[in-house]
């Protein structure tokens, strides 16, 4: 096999209270990539017309991730990667992570799966460094592992995949761009102890809620007293969307990654649909273009299929 198709899913990082440590994979949307081994060593990149992605490997998130993999491989090897981006960059839905994770999972397949998932996360973190200046792994890990993941520590890497009950995820992506690097820049560098205590309680509550299939506990724990008060100012309609969706029966939700997308979790499909209608109403009234998704947690992560 020397050619594969890759589906790399969108992800939601932070899960409200777990800044940089929690994330989940979505069933949709996903980027579609094609990758093949080539005779000449090195990386060549191409992309669909929709987005002008850098073609120099060092500046491209997929390229930077592959360079890390190739260094670990140690022998001369060549890849061509074609990226058909379905997840808009700057959406807060893990667009850069999808390209980074998709590229290294695809390459690993072509090389006979010699690297572990943890190795692949380490390689793909180089893509996040290119995208946002920081090697965070809360989008990459669920993208590679699927489901819900906890990153207990990044250096050294300690990944904990978490079981979770069935959940519907509704996402609205107002069509404004928030750069992760900017959304990190505005955060306060220090937190008050009383806020840290609340946040610890919520993170522990959310993880317990997932493991115990306790929807009520999941809902109560979707609270962020540190990041959301600062970042939500960048997202028009945020407070209204959140409040109205909770009133309609959503368990809770908040900013997806660094925004501007907002996500809401629901126990029932019918609630997830109602939540979508509310999100649409808010952005119609505000006159801001938007896109919505009603989906579920994606259990598989990046999927790879051989091509003839």
Distance between CA 242 and CA 247 in Å, rounded?
9
* Shortest spacing between CB 42 and ligand HSE, in angstroms: 29
Considering the rule CB under 6 A, would residue 164 count as an interface residue with ligand HSE?
A: no
Under DSSP, is residue 303 helix (H, G, I), strand (E, B) or coil?
strand
Q: Which of 180, 228, 271, 276 is catalytic?
A: 180
Considering the rule CB under 6 A, would residue 138 count as an interface residue with ligand HSE?
A: yes
Stretch that binds ligand HSE, among 1-9, 24-32, 180-188, 279-287 (CB under 6 A): 180-188
* Shortest spacing between CB 139 and ligand HSE, in angstroms: 5
Q: Catalytic residue at 128?
A: yes
* Shortest spacing between CB 18 and ligand HSE, in angstroms: 9
**Contact characters 39-78, ligand HSE, x per CB under 6 A:** ----------------------------------------
Q: Point out which residues pair with 75 in neighbouring strands.
A: none
Those residues with Cβ within 8 angstroms of residue 273's Cβ, 6 or more apart along the chain or in another chain: 170, 294
Counting residues that bind ligand HSE (by CB under 6 A) gives: 12
Site for ligand HSE in 241-260 (CB under 6 A): 257-258
Whether the Cβ atoms of residue 161 and residue 148 lie closer than 8 Å to each other: yes
Whether the Cβ atoms of residue 279 and residue 172 lie closer than 8 Å to each other: yes
Strands annotated E in 115-167: 148-153, 158-162
Distance between CA 119 and CA 205 in Å, rounded?
29
| Count of helix runs (H) and strand runs (E) in the chain | 10, 11
Q: What is the phi/psi pair of residue 257, to 5°?
A: 55, -130
**Pick 99 or 271: Cβ nearer ligand HSE:** 99
Distance between CA 93 and CA 259 in Å, rounded?
8
Using CA atoms of 222, 225, 228, 230 in order, give the dihedral in degrees to the nearest 10: 180
Stretch that binds ligand HSE, among 149-157, 176-184, 216-224, 261-269 (CB under 6 A): 176-184
Q: Catalytic residue at 149?
A: no
**Pick 60 or 271: Cβ nearer ligand HSE:** 60
Considering the rule CB under 6 A, would residue 180 count as an interface residue with ligand HSE?
A: yes
Distance between CA 47 and CA 141 in Å, rounded?
24
**Pick 138 or 267: Cβ nearer ligand HSE:** 138
Looking at 139, 199, 202, 271, which residue binds ligand HSE (CB under 6 A)?
139
For residue 136, the Cα-to-chain-centroid distance in whole angstroms is 11
Under DSSP, is residue 225 helix (H, G, I), strand (E, B) or coil?
coil
**Pick 14 or 47: Cβ nearer ligand HSE:** 14
Considering the rule CB under 6 A, would residue 136 count as an interface residue with ligand HSE?
A: yes
- Site residues (vs ligand HSE, CB under 6 A): 13-14, 19-20, 136, 138-139, 180, 183-184, 257-258
Q: List residues with catalytic annotation.
A: 128, 180
């Amino acid at each position: 096999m020397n050619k594969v198709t890759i589906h790399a899913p969108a992800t939601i990082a932070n899960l409200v209270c777990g800044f940089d440590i929690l994330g989940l994979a979505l069933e949709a949307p996903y980027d579609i990539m094609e990758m093949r081994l080539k005779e000449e060593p090195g990386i060549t990149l191409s992309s669909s017309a929709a987005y002008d992605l850098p073609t120099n490997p060092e500046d491209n998130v997929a390229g930077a991730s592959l360079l890390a993999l190739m260094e670990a491989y140690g022998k001369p090897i060549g890849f061509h990667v074609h990226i058909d981006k379905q997840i808009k960059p700057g959406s807060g839905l893990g667009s850069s992570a999808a390209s980074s994770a998709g590229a290294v999972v695809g390459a690993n397949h072509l090389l006979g799966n010699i690297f572990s998932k943890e190795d692949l996360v380490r390689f793909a973190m180089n893509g996040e460094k290119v995208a946002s200046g920081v090697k965070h792994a809360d989008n990459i890990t669920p993208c590679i592992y699927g489901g819900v993941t906890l990153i207990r520590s990044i250096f050294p890497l300690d990944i904990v995949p978490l079981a979770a009950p069935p959940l519907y995820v509704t996402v609205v992506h107002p069509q404004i761009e928030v750069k992760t690097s900017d959304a990190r820049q505005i955060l306060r560098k220090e937190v008050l102890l009383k806020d840290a205590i609340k946040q610890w309680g919520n993170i522990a509550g959310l993880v317990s809620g997932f493991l115990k299939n306790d929807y009520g506990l999941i809902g109560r724990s979707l609270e962020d007293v540190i990041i959301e008060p600062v970042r939500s100012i960048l997202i028009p309609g945020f407070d209204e969307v959140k409040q109205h969706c909770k009133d309609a029966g959503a368990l809770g939700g908040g900013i997806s990654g660094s925004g501007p997308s907002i996500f809401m979790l629901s126990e029932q499909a019918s609630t997830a649909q109602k939540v979508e209608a509310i999100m649409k109403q808010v952005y119609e009234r505000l006159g801001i273009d938007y896109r919505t998704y009603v989906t579920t947690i994606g259990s598989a992560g990046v999927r790879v299929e051989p091509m003839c």
